[in-house]
Structure 1
Amino acid sequence: MTLADFSFDWSLMGPPLLAGLLVASTHVLLGRRVLERGIIFIDLTIAQVAALGVILAGVSEDGGGIATQVAAAVAALLAAALLTWTEHKFRKLQEALIGSLYVLSACIAILVLAHNPHGAEHMQELLAGQILWVSYSQLWPVAILYAVILLMWFGVVRTRPGLFYFLFALTVMASVQLVGVYLVFATLIMPAIATSMLPERRGLPIGYLIAGAGYGLGLWLSVPFDLPAGPFIVCVLSALVIVTGIVRRLRG
């Protein structure tokens, strides 16, 4: 392995890095709200439900593009509607119900793919993601969607918190198809954990810095070491969270 192996190839890494930064633009903000509301597994659950929608669309439509997007959005929004209802009716059980929905949707996905010769591969792609294969053409619709979501977040959701689950569902629905379930969860929760004790005006910039550095370093180092980019980025994000915690403790 030489120094040339560690060069950052923008033609290869440009779209994946932009995809990661796009995901971070919404997920770092939403992650703080998830921690505040005490619904830690909501992101993992809605990501899994959206993935189930993608799987069902792939089985019935042979992976047809628009049908896949619609199926993922419908699945995620139905999950959001269900969880909005359960939060009002069974608030004390909400986290348990969220976890149960995750297990149920994951098991249904496994059953649907049980007789598919490429089922295990398809499931792995949805979980770990295929971020290295993201193209610029995939980013524009997601960028527009995220812009609308951020506008609605700052303009509407703070006064109408009942919309939280629905905006959250649309965000996760788009991001899980870009980067996979694992990175969706990591981008939401890990920067939020690292900055949980900081006020938003300080915590958000540091959270964005952690997420951006995690994607950048993870993508850069995954190529020369020939490791799957998605899981490696999760490991880098974890390391950055630990380093941030150590620095905060040393500074008192």
Structure 2
Amino acid sequence: MDALSLDILGPALVAGLLILATHVPLGAIVLNRGIIFIDIALAQVAALGVVFGTVMWGAVSGLVVQACAVAAALSCSVVLTWTDKRFPEIQEAIIGVLYVFAAALQIILLAYSANGAEHLKALLVGQILWVTPLQLLVIGLIYAAVLALWYFRDLARERHLFYGGFAVVITASVQIVGVLLVFASLIVPALATRHAPARWRLTIAFNIGVFGYVGGLVASAILDIPTGAAIVCVLVPAAALAAVLIERRFGGARDGVPDGVQDGGAYRHDGPHVHQRAE
């Protein structure tokens, strides 16, 4: 039972809660905008920045590696902001191309590293069990700033703020929990709660995420399996079950009308913001 010690799992759980605090509201915006794979593309680009910095200057300074990761993600966000404005009808396809291109470059760069396979595995599933108090402090400050931006500004409408803040969050997250868990934390809870009442949607999504992280951490400790993969494998079935229960509880009450569409007008709910759109 030593594996279930809070000294081991406590920091990882705190990291998971911090990630969910930002990824759940941002994931709702991503889902509403229909750009589902933007998170995994930006995560892959941020990971590419980490790999590039490590291969080129890893022995010099960890700050250089972080600068490479942030620069890569922000550059990608600038490109996506421009394409979202100019080519919105093919934005999802462009995101997919960026993901594939970044992944291919990452594999090429890792071919020059003696520990390339291990590094690639770490970037995919993360090292959440090894998170340090300093890392928790840093990502806590970053996430707090982005949450303040989400609360006070309408990120769903302001492309530059959305893509910029999103890039910074993904860059911080991917180095702790990996590409797979970043995508799962953003999309899975939001997808499961799309039929829940708007006022409860984020709360329910957050709790689904908490269940996935707690269950995955416990399963990883007991079964001695990779933590990131375990969290994903608990989160997805839990979210699927929650989606079914939500649909049965709330789906029929709206008679097939999506939440937010009432009285002949369409409304989009983005966190604390409620915006009215003309039909």
Question: How high is the TM-score relative to the length of structure 2?
Answer: 0.85
Is 1:11 aligned with 2:11?
no
Structure 2: 5+ residue stretches without partners: 253-279
Aligned partner letter, 2:30? V
Distance 1:199 1:70 in 2: 41
CA contact (8 A) 2:215 2:231 kept: yes
Please name the residue that 2:87 is paired with: 90
Distance 1:249 1:42 in 2: 26
Deviation string 1:54-80 (CA, Å, 9 cap, x unpaired) is 000001112531111111111100000
| SS class of match (1:223) | helix
Q: 2:238 aligns with which of 219, 223, 240?
A: 240
Distance 2:158 2:240 in 1: 35
Distance 2:181 2:194 in 1: 19
| SS class of match (2:216) | helix
Measure how far apart 1:250 and its partner are: 4.1
> What fraction of aligned residue pairs are identical, expressed as a percent?
46
Is 1:179 aligned with 2:208?
no
CA contact (8 A) 2:35 2:92 kept: yes
Is 1:168 aligned with 2:169?
no
Please name the residue that 2:71 is paired with: 74
Measure how far apart 1:249 and its partner are: 4.1
Structure with larger RCO (C-alpha < 8 A, sep 6+): 1
RMSD of aligned residue pairs (Cα, Å) = 1.4
Distance 1:188 1:92 in 2: 22
Whose strand proportion is higher, 1 or 2?
Answer: 2
Is 1:103 aligned with 2:91?
no
Is 1:34 aligned with 2:30?
yes
Distance 1:250 1:150 in 2: 32
Q: 1:46 aligns with which of 42, 56, 80?
A: 42
Distance 1:248 1:160 in 2: 31
Deviates more, 1:242-251 or 1:72-81: 242-251
Aligned partner letter, 1:23? I
Question: How high is the TM-score relative to the length of structure 1?
Answer: 0.94
Aligned residues: 248
Distance 2:244 2:152 in 1: 36
Aligned partner letter, 1:52? L
Measure how far apart 1:118 and its partner are: 0.6
Deviation string 1:143-198 (CA, Å, 9 cap, x unpaired) is 00111111111212346343111111111011111111110000000000100122
Q: 2:207 aligns with which of 209, 212, 215?
A: 209
Distance 1:125 1:46 in 2: 17
Aligned partner letter, 2:68? A
Measure how far apart 1:120 and its partner are: 1.1
Largest Rg, 1 or 2: 2
Whose helix proportion is higher, 1 or 2?
Answer: 1
CA contact (8 A) 2:58 2:64 kept: no
Aligned partner letter, 1:100? V
Distance 2:85 2:203 in 1: 33
Distance 1:101 1:250 in 2: 38
Measure how far apart 1:245 and its partner are: 2.2
Please name the residue that 1:148 is paired with: 145
CA contact (8 A) 2:44 2:99 kept: yes
Distance 2:124 2:85 in 1: 30
